[in-house]
A and B are shown apart, each in its own frame.
Chain A
């Protein structure tokens, strides 16, 4: 068949397909219009294959190629049942993932919590040690924040309830920003994640040890115990995700480095999704519970212990049943 005849015969179909693509691309397509889309798309692919096989002109092939490409984009669009995906991830996916990636998670947690606890003990025993890590000015600010005499505690000490919003926003930005940084810098052969895990662990540990030593333990610990369950695990997991990237580059095994990295990133990014979720919870708890003064310190310790147990139980037991919701 000559090209001219071919175009004459099927030109109207291509035209129709093209007019259907426009509303699909703008997300304004009607259900009825799209019923024949799959069939039309395959039909077009067949025409493209024919045109190439018969050596028709570049112009025609380019046009069909382009229509096929646009059709392909719509046909293989990712269905995003985002709500269902998130629920499934929270109920089973995230704890399963953490257990599956236990090596990276363990490494990240050991580095972070090890640095935190070690530095905490050291700065409790050696008063000057904190100044080798944190500037005196900042230490003074920290002391002011958790001064038992203050009416409210936390990073914005003097504030009204309306300002909870400010804190909520600040925590989200600050903490998730740090988590993203910790994750992304893992791409530098894991060195970045290693640094941020250790550095954050050391700083937090130093402050905790210092404040306990000078006798601000009640204000400090009752403040951090609640959201710490979510925030600290999240930072450790973000580091774990970053270490996983770095490890894929250092020891790709039998894969090529690019391929190993791509696979590791697929898993790591899911960890990051969980981290984001945890940090949102942490920011919420920190802004609306930790900083409240109506609850006594004892209540906060109990709630805090409950939250830590909840987090640990979540990662140990959630999603274990065979018929986990999917």
Chain B
């Protein structure tokens, strides 16, 4: 296993969960917290309201038959809306899709009928006594932000990651590291170069200065040297 990954899952303050798959790799799941989930629920609530309003206006024209259909529709939208979306739409309701979330089993596999039904029926308890108080407390106190329904069903709400943008490793003279780097150190040097755009100039200089002594260079030149080492690690680009 990667030393730096092992580190991040045990000692660092991190919400990521690692799941080992039969292919021998670790999938990384990032559970979503209370706020994005609440927003996703709010969006779904609006959509459900709009569906019901539209349907009742439309079915009102049909009279008694429409009223019968209306009650069935109300039942479906009330209880089955999340289940059907999660099952038929890759674990996402429209609200979750908007917030970039998705429901999966604890082991990272797509959510199934039983789990989806469980978590959505037990929503009734999470809503108690009002405004999702129980669910919110459970969500805030669990390390993977699970509400009671998720606990019983064995599901997680995770972020669906965006496609990462390709970072440019800054121009520098390619050089070899003056001493052998461990894998974690190698990753750290590469990360430093790739994340150049996200860090301020002063912070970069400060970080690089830490390594000035082992690199045998002046603190001002350390950043340039690190970029050079990073380029050397990646190979000619």
Contacts and interface: CB of A to CB of B under 8 A. Distances in A.
A170 B71 contact: yes
B118 A269 contact: yes
A326 interface: no
Contact of B68 (A56, A62, A78, A166): A166
A57 B190 contact: yes
B51 interface: no
B71 A169 contact: yes
B81 interface: no
A151 B21 CA distance: 65
Contacts of B218: none
B232 to A, nearest CB: 9
B91 to A, nearest CB: 8
A181 to B, nearest CB: 6
A254 interface: no
Interface residues on B, range: 35 or more
B4 to A, nearest CB: 9
Contacts of B90: 25, 73
A200 to B, nearest CB: 16
Interface in B101-146: 104, 108-110, 112-114, 117-118, 121-125, 128
Contacts of A65: 27-28
Most buried by A among B5, B113, B230: B113
Contact of B75 (A162, A172, A188, A261): A172
Contact of B151 (A3, A5, A181, A261): A261
Nearest to B193: A57
Contacts of A176: 75, 79
A269 B65 contact: no
B14 interface: no
A261 B125 CA distance: 14
A48 B25 contact: yes
Nearest to B124: A184
A90 interface: no
Contacts of B74: 173
Interface residues of A, number: 66
Given A52-B2, A59-B167, A258-B151, A72 B64 contact: no
A169 to B, nearest CB: 3
B236 A261 contact: no
B118 A265 contact: yes
Contact of B110 (A73, A160, A264, A269): A73
Interface in A179-193: 180-181, 183-185, 187-188, 192
B167 A69 contact: no
B21 A173 contact: no
A157 interface: no
A215 interface: no
Given A3-B235, A49-B24, A63-B164, A177 B190 contact: no
Please give me the 8 A-B residue pairs with the lowest Cβ-Cβ distance, nearest first.
Answer: A2-B235, A165-B68, A4-B235, A169-B71, A57-B190, A45-B23, A265-B152, A55-B183
Interface of A: 2-5, 25, 41-42, 45-46, 48-49, 52-59, 62-63, 65-66, 68-69, 72-73, 76-78, 80, 82, 160, 162-170, 172-173, 176-177, 180-181, 183-185, 187-188, 192, 245, 258, 261-262, 264-266, 268-270, 272-273
27 contacts: A41-B23, A53-B183, A55-B183, A55-B184, A55-B187, A58-B191, A62-B164, A65-B28, A66-B163, A68-B25, A72-B27, A73-B110, A76-B110, A78-B113, A163-B64, A165-B67, A166-B67, A169-B70, A170-B68, A173-B71, A173-B74, A176-B75, A176-B79, A187-B125, A261-B152, A265-B122, A269-B118
